[in-house]
Chains A and B, each alone.
Chain A
Amino acid sequence: MSSEWPLWEVFIRGQHGLNHRHVGSLHAPDAEMAVNNARDVYTRRNEGVSIWVVRSSEITASAPSEKGPLFDPSNSKVYRHPTFFDIPDEVGHM
């Protein structure tokens, strides 16, 4: 046997109330060890209150080459933004 341990992506919740954020990756034989290793590497200085790990091979990502078709269509839709509308001053905060 000399198969390489699978790669895991590590997500850490920095503080209560925040989203988990991708911080990096590591190799581990299983999910439990991945959490242990993530704790040892990525939370050595109070960086987190919760850890998620997911096998890198389980992530589906959009292709960089599809950036245009995926994201360009929303560029022309200014009406989706609250700042698009004129609210009269007399109306006050809305």
Chain B
Amino acid sequence: MYAQMVKTDAARVRSLDEMEPHERAFQERVDAGQKIEPKEWMPEGYRKTLVRQISQHAHSEIVGQLPEGNWISRAPTLERKAILLAKVQDEAGHGLYLYCAAETLGISRDQMYEQLHSGKAKYSSIFNYPTLTWADIGAIGWLVDGAAIMNQVPLQRCSYGPYARAMVRICKEESFHQRQGFDALARMVKGTPAQKAMVQDALNRWWWPSLMMFGPSDDASVHSAQSMAWKIKQNSNDELRQKFVDQTVPQAKYLGLTVPDPDLKWNEEKGGHDFGEPDWEEFFNVIAGNGPCNAERLDARKKAWSDGAWFRDGLTAHAEKAADRRAAAKIAAE
């Protein structure tokens, strides 16, 4: 999940009877499956939570370009390079759709960048791991985008119109992302023993961080319950994680790979896999800024922002000059 542990400011989920008329009417619309649109009344908590969730999601798309960007110039063939470039470009677009969706809630783009750069806003823990080999690029598409899809598909039905619509566009492209990753790995496992070992090594390193993307169990979380009542979250973290494991394990088997979890086994009774617990201490450490690449990622974003300042200002100056010239020409013509 690209947005992890989003807080709602709620102490507990209130029933309809406890709500003021405005909020009650709002909740009834959400319950009826209606979409909430930007200028309509909404509870302040709903607005704030969505800003947190959507901006975190957007930041993840943008920061998520960095681990893959690392391999654009080192892709093994021109075809793979073109595909990877297209994927990384898509991620920029996803970030843009999501930033625009968040902006409809009254926060500006610059404010969101500022929150990312200051460390106030988070992005997904997964992008703080390094991409050491070409197999890591395949593993990101297959596992990381695969995990993101689990979460993003239900978000197409979320209660906030602009977010739901952004998700529809994003989901169309995510399927390309996951397939290209799986395809890259499927090619490598048919290669030399060294290439196959490289894929296994990538799976070993990305498996647990991918499971952590869904966040810790939130069955007892009031934030999760509130987000579900608002229909900006549809499934519990454990539910999505289970779905991801059940979908991915047979694919790993097809590739001839071993999932690095000694506790993994099929449970006939529940119709799903049993699996081990991710190292949540590592997760909280990465979230707190102490992952292998946190500093590098944030520095890269800050540098891109400050290095681009002259360009943004230049285009603004050009646009203002051109507007002045048009205005002057209009007066002269009159």
What is the interface of chain A, defined by CB distance below 8 A to chain B?
1-5, 7, 24-27, 29-30, 33, 41, 44, 61, 63-64
Contacts and interface: CB of A to CB of B under 8 A. Distances in A.
B109 A27 contact: yes
A63 B318 contact: no
The A interface, classified by DSSP as helix, strand, loop or mixed, is loop
A25 B100 CA distance: 6
Given A1-B313, A7-B103, 15 more contacts: A3-B316, A4-B108, A4-B109, A5-B316, A7-B100, A24-B166, A25-B103, A26-B96, A26-B100, A27-B109, A29-B318, A29-B319, A30-B318, A41-B93, A41-B96
Contact of A30 (B40, B90, B100, B319): B319
B208 to A, nearest CB: 33
Contacts of A4: 108-110
B312 A5 contact: yes
Contacts of B315: 5, 29-30, 33
B134 interface: no
A12 to B, nearest CB: 12
A1 B41 CA distance: 35
B89 A44 contact: yes
B39 A61 contact: yes
Contacts of A27: 109
A72 to B, nearest CB: 17
A25 B166 CA distance: 11
